[in-house]
Amino acid sequence: MRKDNIRFVCLRCGLCCMASPISLLPHEILVLNDLAAPLNVKLKFVEGYAVYDRISGVNVALTYHMQLGNNGKCVFLGKNNLCLIHNRYKPLICRSFPYTIKSINYYFDPVAKIAFHRSSYTISLACEFIKKHKSMLEPYLKDEFLIKKFFDDETRYANLMEKYRSMYLLALSYLWRVGYVDLASDARTDRPYVNAYLFIRRYIPYFAIRPY
């Protein structure tokens, strides 16, 4: 591989489909539920980050983690490490890998009644392609411009994921400002969880996120 011609090529080793639970946005679990049924795939989701609404008394889940199967692999991982839903709807976190989330911070301003977030990304060293070309890639991976060039599709899907995350927080900010919700940044473990997509649509029926 020439240095001036480096571009990410997935080796289809499937390692990233066995590494950890898959982080999803709220609407993505609805899409995956639809896809899983005809494939006879059983899904298990655990709520991730949630914000508590003092008015309705529920935790509004903004992220979910799809659990790996008993064999330690994603339940959608098929033969020859092929993703069973690749051509239907592959989660944004999978599309963007190995350009992956390093941290997400959520902010809730109770005076201005605004919710927003900041995410940072990194290149995962768990990826087989990165491991293989690590020494050659190292200087390039420090440069944001070159990262975008090498990981053109992956950064594009990551940007889409962050745009959707912002849409959720924008909608919640609107509901907060008009008095339908009263947000407290920490979830309450004694209260039930509600999917943010379904929650927002109770108040804003036209709120829609169309999968790419």
Q: What is the closest distance, in whole angstroms, from the C-beta atom of residue 130 to ligand SF4 in the complex? A: 7
Q: Which of 91, 24, 62, 92 is nearest to 173 (CA)?
A: 62
Query: Of the ranges 52-60, 124-132, 193-201, 204-212, which one interacts with ligand SF4 (CB under 6 A)?
Result: 124-132
Residue 139, burial from CB neighbour count under 10 angstroms (0-12, 13-18, 19+)? exposed
Q: What is the closest distance, in whole angstroms, from the C-beta atom of residue 73 to ligand SF4 in the complex? A: 8
Of the candidates 25, 50, 61, 94, which one interacts with ligand SF4 according to CB under 6 A? Answer: 94
Q: What is the closest distance, in whole angstroms, from the C-beta atom of residue 13 to ligand SF4 in the complex? A: 4
> First CA to last CA across the chain, in angstroms?
31
Query: Of the ranges 75-83, 112-120, 163-171, 195-203, which one interacts with ligand SF4 (CB under 6 A)?
Result: 75-83
Q: Which two tokens stand for residue 202?
A: 């109770």
* 2 Cβ neighbours under 8 A, 6+ residues apart: none
The SS3 assignment for 183 reads strand
74 part of the interface to ligand SF4, by CB under 6 A: yes
Distance between CA atoms of 50 and 186, rounded to whole angstroms? 7
Toward ligand SF4, which CB reaches closer, 129 or 180? 129
What is the contact mask toward ligand SF4 in residues 22 to 61, using x (rule: CB under 6 A)? x---------------------------------------
Of the candidates 41, 43, 83, 170, which one interacts with ligand SF4 according to CB under 6 A? Answer: 83
Q: What is the closest distance, in whole angstroms, from the C-beta atom of residue 124 to ligand SF4 in the complex? A: 8
Q: How many CA atoms does the CB half-sphere of 37 hold within 13 Å? A: 5
